[in-house]
Structure formats: structure tokens, C-alpha cells
A and B are shown apart, each in its own frame.
Chain A
């Protein structure tokens, strides 16, 4: 009981793999029905970025709780670690997308023969070799750190030697610092540079807060799913309650950053900045409001009471809505710049490809869960994690 390992049910494995199949099929269908290669590339970017970020957030939650020496989180640590297993997969998919022609379709600053005066000023940063260089640095750092953090976490569990705990904690601190910098620059590279003329200093943190809320939602869904399957019996209402508070808090934090960015640009009304929201108001006004409703209004009212955060009845639908909501957020960040108002929409490429990525993500995460006991019972804070109560 104590040392339980997750066994990946065959049925679940085939479901996730057939979801991947749907994704591939959707990709092929979209290609031949001529929705436009920009739209396909945009969808691949959206999902690669989204699920790569969810992997990073999984690891971020593990590391940040490790350096904060939080006790309660220990019991769900394995789930965050499993999410981080997607980092290499997502990273490679992103790299493949760029190498196989995505660069040209997504980023008009790569069209070096007709750059305007403003883009010419940015060539020192926005050029293809440097772009790839940065990308490789991010991937090497993320994958490397994820690997060593996981390794020390497992060694700690096998031996109970506090030496590995200290190493785990030290690497966690390194990862948090690395992610604090690279998550910002990566969002500039991959997302902000789509609208290459536009700029906003808050952008990196805004995207990060979006991914943080969604990553927490996924963590909650995974924990509840594992409990449904009969695992993680040591995780009780108190842990779910805490995760629910996170989801509530991060959603408000996301709304705060959304408002800060929008309000300042709206208020100052400087043309080179407002053009960004002008485009979104004009062609994507539905998405613009849906984004706010799904990501702020729904969680704010649904998760306000104590009881709603303590059970799966409200938490599961809300977490699903938030997961979809931040997909929509990325949609409104990417589509206007790549595809434009006339050619975009939500159809086979959007839904199909996303289903494919969800399947792949779940497959990788569940497979990673089978590799280690779900209970980190030699972690020095494990006992604390079992005995605590949310006093409020």
C-alpha cells in the first residue's frame, strides 16, 4: 500500500495513443483541405508551447515548494515531476516545427529581404542563428535540470540520505532562477516576436502567470484522476483544498496582470502599442471576452467558497475550464499575428491537433508516473505532509 506504483492501464494507454492518432489525422486533413500552412504552423506552435510550458510549470511547482521547504506539497510531488517528463518531448516538437519551415510561416522578421526600418533596428536580437542559439540554451538547461532534479529526488527516496535532499534543494533553486529568466525571454522569442513591431515589458510575466494557472489546473486534474483510479490514498481533502486555493489565487493573479497590461496600454493610447489590442478588438472580440470569462470570472466565483475547493465536484469542471481558458489565451496571443482575422477560426486544425497533444501529454505523464513510487516516503517532510490540516 505504502510503496504503491502506478500501473498504466492498457485501456488508458490506447485511449491516449488514439488521441495522438486523431491529432495526426487532423494535421493531415487540415493540410489537404487547404486551411493554410500558417494556420497549421500556428496551431502547432500554440500546442507545443502550451504543453511544454505545462511541463515546466509541473517542475516549477515541485522546485518552488522544495526551496520554500513546504511540508504539505511533498505528498503530491511525484505528479509535478511526472509533468516535467514532457519537457524534452515538447522541446523537440517545438524545435522540429521551427526547423521544418515553421520559422518562415510564423515570424515575419525572418523574411530578411524586406525588413522595415523598425525591424532593422532589432536584427541584433531577432535573427535566425541567435534565435536557434537561445532555443538550444533553453532546452539544454531545462532538460538537463529536469533530469538531475528528478534523479536526486528518486535517489533521496531510495536511500533516505539527506545528502540527496540538499542536492535536490540546491538544483531546485538553480532551476527557479533559470526559469525566471528563460521563461521571460522564451516568451519574447516564440510569442511576442510574432508581432515583431510590438513590445510590452510585462509580456513575459503575463504569459508565465497564464501558464502557472493552467499548470495548477492540470496538476489538480491529474491528482484527482489518480485518486479516482485508487492511487494516492494519502492525498486527502486538505491537499486538494490547498491546490484549489492556488488555482483561485493564480487565476486572480493572472487577471491582475492582464488588467495591468491592458489598462496601461489603453490609458496611454500610444499608437504603436494600442495597435495590438486594436487588432484583437476588431477581429477577435469574442475570444477577447471569452478569455476573461473563462480564466477569471468562472474561477473567481466558483472557487470562492471553502467547500468548492475541498471536493472534486466543482474543482474538476473549473480546472477543465481553466485549462481550456488558457489555451484560448494563447490563441489570442498567436492567431492575430500569424493567421489574421479573416483566415482564422476554430475548426478541425485547432480541435484535432489539440486533442493529439493532450493525448501525447497524458501518455508521457502517465508513463513517467509508472517509473517511481507515488509516495516519496523518505522525503524529510513526508510525514508532515500526511499529518497536516488546513486550519482554515
Chain B
């Protein structure tokens, strides 16, 4: 178990400034919780660009191959049927379904990967540091070990106060 020290901000610009200060002080930020996506936060926390786009691409590639291949297999190998004098291998006819499956696979692969990588999903039990984090407060959470000495904690609290935090709480 560890303890969490949370600094509160009520404006995203103060938050960004504060984060810069906290990082300059050499503290390790565990997490930042915000009610909406704050621009510039990715950079401030050096979060790398998400690789979910690649999942989307490969999902789409699988969907396209499967969609087109399946139709082609059905109509040329498994059960060729003359329909309205169309050729068995009717490429233009296969396009709509192939396209739809591309989009379907791409979207679902990406969204599933999103939930898995964030460990989000039905029944997930998150640690809610403060309920105002989804309302109007911006939270910076710093983790400290359970048995850290008092001085260490107050040192961190002072650093956070120096970084413009409007409120600081300690939670086990």
C-alpha cells in the first residue's frame, strides 16, 4: 500500500504551470486527473503518442481481406451462382461489403484495444481520489511509500504548495 498526496487546481493553465514546477522539483507525478482533455498536458507529462492508430490500421486490413476474400471464395469456389449474368468474380459487387467490414473491424479492434490498454471496462473498480475530478478540479497525484517519514511528506507538500496548488490532501 502506498499513500497519495493530491494537489488541487481549479484552472487548467495553473495546472500546466504547476506541473512544470513540480517536475522541476524532481517529484514524480503518478497521475493527473482532469474533467476534460487539457491541451498541452500530453507534452507536459511527456505522454507518447498513442499507438492505437496502428491497431486501427491492422484491424482494417484484416477486415478488408476477410470481407473481400470471403465473398470471392463463396462466389468462385464454394458455390458459384449465375446472378443476373454477372461474372462470378464480380469485383465491383464485392466492394460495399468489403468496405463495411473494413470499417467495422478497424473500429472495434481499436476500441477494444483502448479499453484493454486503459484497463477500463464494465465492472472496473477505479480509485477515486476525489469526486470533483470529473467536475471542476484538476488533480495532480503524487505517490509516496506507506512508511515514508513525516519530513518526506511535508517536503512534498511544500513543493506542491510552491507549485501553486490550491489545496493539498493526503490519503492512505
Chain A residues in contact with chain B, CB under 8 A?
A: 259, 262-263, 266-267, 269, 304-306, 389, 391
Closest to A304 in B: B57
* Contact residues of B between 12 and 68, Cβ < 8 Å to A: 39, 53, 57
Closest to A259 in B: B95
Chain B residues in contact with chain A, CB under 8 A?
A: 39, 53, 57, 85-86, 92-93, 95
Sort A-B residue pairs by CB-CB distance and give the 8 closest, nearest first: A263-B92, A266-B92, A391-B39, A259-B95, A262-B92, A267-B92, A263-B95, A267-B93
Q: How far is the CA of A171 from the CA of B95 in the complex (A)?
A: 41
Are the CB atoms of A269 and B92 closer together than 8 Å? no
Q: How far is the CA of A101 from the CA of B21 in the complex (A)?
A: 77
Are the CB atoms of B92 and A259 closer together than 8 Å? yes
Contacts of B39 in A (CB 8 A): 389, 391
Q: How far is the CA of A269 from the CA of B85 in the complex (A)?
A: 10
Contacts of B92 in A (CB 8 A): 259, 262-263, 266-267
CB distance from B17 to the nearest CB of A (A): 19
Q: How far is the CA of A391 from the CA of B49 in the complex (A)?
A: 12
Closest to B95 in A: A259
Contacts of B93 in A (CB 8 A): 263, 267
Name 12 extra pairs, CB < 8 A, besides A259-B95, A266-B92: A259-B92, A262-B92, A263-B93, A263-B95, A267-B86, A267-B92, A269-B85, A304-B57, A305-B53, A306-B53, A389-B39, A391-B39
Tally of A-B Cβ pairs under 8 angstroms: 16
Question: Main secondary structure on chain B at its contact with chain A?
Answer: helix
CB distance from B50 to the nearest CB of A (A): 11
Which of B86, B92, B95 neighbours the largest number of chain A CB atoms within 10 Å of its CB? B92
Closest to A389 in B: B39
CB distance from B52 to the nearest CB of A (A): 12
Sampled A-B contacts (16; CB under 8 Å): A259-B92, A259-B95, A262-B92, A263-B92, A263-B93, A263-B95, A266-B92, A267-B86, A267-B92, A267-B93, A269-B85, A304-B57, A305-B53, A306-B53, A389-B39, A391-B39
Contacts of A263 in B (CB 8 A): 92-93, 95
Closest to B49 in A: A306
Q: How far is the CA of A389 from the CA of B43 in the complex (A)?
A: 14
CB distance from A291 to the nearest CB of B (A): 16
CB distance from B37 to the nearest CB of A (A): 9
Contacts of A266 in B (CB 8 A): 92
Contacts of B53 in A (CB 8 A): 305-306
CB distance from A392 to the nearest CB of B (A): 10
Q: How far is the CA of A99 from the CA of B102 in the complex (A)?
A: 51
Closest to A266 in B: B92
Q: How far is the CA of A269 from the CA of B57 in the complex (A)?
A: 35
Closest to B93 in A: A267
CB distance from B126 to the nearest CB of A (A): 26
Contacts of A304 in B (CB 8 A): 57
Q: How far is the CA of A313 from the CA of B16 in the complex (A)?
A: 34
Contacts of B86 in A (CB 8 A): 267
Q: How far is the CA of A304 from the CA of B86 in the complex (A)?
A: 34
CB distance from B93 to the nearest CB of A (A): 7
CB distance from B68 to the nearest CB of A (A): 14
Q: How far is the CA of A237 from the CA of B18 in the complex (A)?
A: 29
Contacts of B57 in A (CB 8 A): 304
Contacts of A391 in B (CB 8 A): 39
Contacts of B95 in A (CB 8 A): 259, 263
CB distance from A367 to the nearest CB of B (A): 41
Closest to B54 in A: A305
Q: How far is the CA of A263 from the CA of B39 in the complex (A)?
A: 44
CB distance from A238 to the nearest CB of B (A): 13
Q: How far is the CA of A263 from the CA of B94 in the complex (A)?
A: 11
CB distance from B64 to the nearest CB of A (A): 12
Q: How far is the CA of A391 from the CA of B85 in the complex (A)?
A: 51
Contacts of A267 in B (CB 8 A): 86, 92-93
Q: How far is the CA of A269 from the CA of B93 in the complex (A)?
A: 13
